Amino acid sequence: MKLKYILFLVLVPIIVSCSKNWLEPNPLSFYTPSNVYVDQAGFEAGLTTCKKEMNAENHGDLCFIVGENCYSDLAVELRESDWNKLTPSSSPRQAILKLFTNGYGYIKNANTIITRIDDITWDDQSVRNRILSEALWFRAYWYYRLVNTYGDIPWVGEELKEAKLDYFSTKREVILAKLQQDLEYAQEWLPVKAANLGGVTKGANSHLLTKIYLALGHFDQAITSASAVINGPYALMTSRFGVDASNSYHNLMWDLHRWQNKNASENTETIYATVDRPDAAPGTWFNNVGTASMRNYGPSYWKVMDATGNRATNWDTAAGDSLGIGNGDVRTNWFFRYGLWQDEQYQWDETPDMRRAKTNWIEMGEMTSDIITVREGSPNFGQPLTKKYYKNLADTTDTWFSWPYYKVYVPTPNYAQPWGGQGDWYIFRLAETYLLRAEAYFWKGELGLAADDINKVRARANAPLITAAEVTLDYIFDERARELFTEEPRHTEMVRASFIYAKLGKGGYSVETISENNWYYDKVMRDNKFFSAPKYTFWDNTATVHPYNMLWPIPQNVITANTLGRINQNIGYEGAQLNEPPLDVIP
Partner 1 sequence: MKLSIFMLLILITAVYGEGKAQKVSLSLKKADIETVFNAISKQTNYRFLYSDDVITRVGAIDITVNNRELKEILNHIAKHRNLRYKIIEHTVTVNVVGNRNMVTANGSQPDVMVTGKVTTQNGEPLSGASVFIKGGKGTTTNAQGEFYLEVPSLQSTITISYIGYVTQNVDINGQKQVIAKLENNDAALEEVVVVGYGTQKRKDLTGSITRVSGDVFEHHAASQLNEMLAGTVAGFNANQGATAAGGTSMEIRGKTSLGASTEPLIVLDGAIFGGSLRDINAFDIESIDILKDASSAAVYGAKAASGVVIVTTKKGKVAKPTITLSSKIGRAESNNQRRGLNANEYIAFREDFLRQVNPSVDYQFYTNPNELPENFSLDQWRNLSANPLDDNVQEWMARLGLFDIEKNNYLAGRTMDMYDHVFQKALRQQYDLGISGGTSAIKYYWSLGYDNNEGIRVGDQYASVRSRVNLDFKITDWLNVGMNTQFSDRNEGAVPASMDFYVNSPYGQLFDDEGNLERYPHGHSNTPLLDYYRRSVTDKKYNVFSSLYAELHFPFGIKLRTSFQPYYHESKYLTFTTISKKLGGLDSETPSGERGESSRMNWQLDNILSWNKKIKDHEFDITLLVNAEKNNFWSTSMKNKDFSPNQELGAHGLQFGSSPEIVNDDQVSTGDALMARINYNYLGRYLLTASVRRDGYSAFGLEHPRAVFPALAFGWVVSDEKFFKVDFIDRMKIRTSWGANGNRDIGIYAALARTGSNLWYNGSTTEVGVYTSSLQNSGLRWEKTTAINLGLDLIMFNNKIDLTADVYQMNTTDLLMDRTLPRVTGFTSITSNLGEIENRGIELTLNSRNINRTNFRWNSSLVFSLNRNKIKELFGDVGTYTLLGKEFNGEVPDFTNKWFPGQAIDVVWNYNVTGVWQLDEAAEAAKYSMQPGDFKSEDVNADGKYVDVEDKQFIGYTVPRYRLGLRNDFNFLKNFTASVFIRADLGHIGSYVDALNIGYQSNDRWNRNVGPVPYWTADKPNNEYARLNVNTGAYGGGLSIYKPRSFVRIQDLSLAYRVPVGIVENWKLKNLEFFASVRNLATFTKWPGWDPESGMTPMPRIYTFGFNLSL
Determine, following the binding rule CB under 8 A, whether residue 38 of this chain makes contact with partner 1. no
Q: Tell me the window of 10-18, 59-67, 220-228, 496-504 that interacts with partner 1 (CB under 8 A).
A: 10-18
**Which residues lie below 8 Å from residue 164, measured CB to CB, with a gap of 6+?**
none
Q: Strand pairing of 330-332 and 169-170? A: unpaired
Bridge partner list, 75: 332
The only residue of 72, 94, 111, 201 in contact with partner 1, by rule CB under 8 A? 111
Considering only 347, 537, 581, 586, the residue that binds partner 1 (CB under 8 A) is: 537
Angle CA(232)–CA(456)–CA(275) in degrees, nearest 5?
55
Hey, which residues between 395 and 414 contact partner 1 (CB under 8 A)? 395, 412
Q: Is 90 in the site for partner 1 (CB under 8 A)?
A: yes
Q: What's the residue count for the chain?
A: 587
Report the relative pairing of strands 75-77 and 330-332 from DSSP bridges. antiparallel
Is residue 193 a contact point for partner 1 (CB under 8 A)? no
Residue 25 or 382: the one with the smaller Cβ distance to partner 1 is 25
2 touches partner 1 (CB under 8 A): no
Closest residue by Cα to residue 398 from 310, 297, 313: 297
Pairing of strands 270-274, 425-429: antiparallel
- Cβ contact 354:360 at 8 Å: yes
Of residues 257-276, those binding partner 1 (CB under 8 A): 263, 275-276
DSSP conformation letters of 208-221: HHHHHHHHHT-HHH
Contact 154, 169 (CB under 8 A): yes
Rule CB under 8 A: say whether 11 interacts with partner 1. Answer: yes
Cα(190)–Cα(6) distance, integer angstroms = 74
Specify the residue, 1 or 469, whose C-beta has the smaller distance to partner 1.
Answer: 1
Count of residues interacting with partner 1 (CB under 8 A): 114
* C-alpha to C-alpha distance for 427 and 416, rounded to whole angstroms: 27
Beta strand 153-154 pairing with 330-332: unpaired
Q: Does 86 bind partner 1 (CB under 8 A)?
A: yes
* Residue 125 touches partner 1, criterion: CB under 8 A: no
User: Is residue 557 a contact residue for partner 1 (CB under 8 A)?
Assistant: yes
Residue type, 165: L
Give the number of other CB atoms < 10 A from CB of residue 56: 22
For partner 1, the closer CB: 561 or 586: 561
Q: Which is nearer to partner 1, 30 or 249 (CB)?
A: 30
Of 4 and 193, which has the nearer Cβ to partner 1? 4
Stretch that binds partner 1, among 180-188, 339-347, 468-476, 555-563 (CB under 8 A): 555-563
Cα separation, 443 vs 223, whole angstroms: 11
Least distance from partner 1 to the Cβ atom of residue 455, Å: 33
- Number of neighbouring beta carbons within 10 Å of residue 21: 7
The span from the CA of 200 to the CA of 189, in Å, is 10
Instruction: Tell me if 149 contacts partner 1 by CB under 8 A.
Output: no
For partner 1, which is the closer residue by CB, 316 or 370? 316
Is 249 in contact with 405 (CB distance < 8 Å)? no
Q: Does 30 participate in binding partner 1 (rule CB under 8 A)?
A: yes
Site for partner 1 in 152-191 (CB under 8 A): 153-154, 156, 159-165, 167
Residue 168 DSSP one-character state: B
Burial of 296 (0-12, 13-18, 19+ CB in 10 A): buried
Q: Is 366 in the site for partner 1 (CB under 8 A)?
A: no
Q: Which stretch binds partner 1 (CB under 8 A): 108-116, 290-298, 475-483, 520-528?
A: 108-116
Min separation Cβ 489 and partner 1, Å? 20
Q: How far is the CB of 441 from partner 1 (least distance, A)?
A: 36
Taking a C-beta distance cutoff of 8 angstroms, is the pair 331, 300 a contact?
no
Cβ-based nearer residue to partner 1, 36 or 525: 36
Out of 185, 241, 389, 475, the residue judged to bind partner 1 by CB under 8 A: 389
**Window contacting partner 1 (CB under 8 A); options: 211-219, 383-391, 480-488, 511-519:** 383-391
Tell me which residue of 145, 32, 405 sits closest to 251, measured CA to CA. 405
Residue 58 binds to partner 1 (criterion: CB under 8 A): no
Nearest distance in Å: CB 540, partner 1: 5
The answer to whether 203 and 229 have CB atoms below 8 angstroms apart is: yes
Min dist CB 89 to partner 1, Å, is 5
What would the x/- binding string for partner 1 be over residues 491 to 520, using CB under 8 A?
------------------------------
According to the binding rule CB under 8 A, does residue 536 interact with partner 1?
A: yes
User: Is the Cβ of residue 16 or residue 585 nearer to partner 1 in the bound state?
Assistant: 16
Q: By CB under 8 A, is residue 288 in contact with partner 1?
A: no
Asked whether the beta carbons of 183 and 211 are under 8 A apart, the reply is no
**Contact with partner 1 (CB under 8 A): which of 238, 284, 322, 513?**
284
CB atoms within 10 A of CB 34: 9
Residue of 181, 359, 417, 462 interacting with partner 1 (CB under 8 A): 417
Q: How far is the CB of 404 from partner 1 (least distance, A)?
A: 25
* Phi/psi at 77 (5° precision): -80, 125
Which SS3 state, helix, strand or coil, does residue 337 take? helix
Q: Which CB, 85 or 526, lies closer to partner 1?
A: 85
- Considering only 213, 254, 415, 428, the residue that binds partner 1 (CB under 8 A) is 415
Q: 202-231: which residues touch partner 1 (CB under 8 A)?
A: none
Q: Does position 31 bind partner 1 by CB under 8 A? A: yes
The CB-of-556 to partner 1 minimum distance in angstroms stands at: 6
Please tell me whether residue 33 binds partner 1 under the rule CB under 8 A: yes
Among 2, 4, 20, 358, binds partner 1 (CB under 8 A): 4
85 forms part of the interface with partner 1 (CB under 8 A): yes
3-class state of residue 331 by DSSP = strand
Beta-bridged to residue 311, according to DSSP, are 305
**388 binds partner 1 per the rule CB under 8 A:** yes
Give, as ranges, the residues between 437 and 496 that touch partner 1 (CB under 8 A): none
For residue 393, give every residue at least 6 positions away whose Cβ sits within 8 Å of its Cβ, in sequence order, or none: 387, 536
Q: What are phi and psi of 87, to 5 degrees?
A: -115, 170
Q: At what angle do helices 447-460 and 473-484 cross, to 10 degrees?
A: 20
State phi, psi for 5 to the nearest 5 degrees.
-75, -35
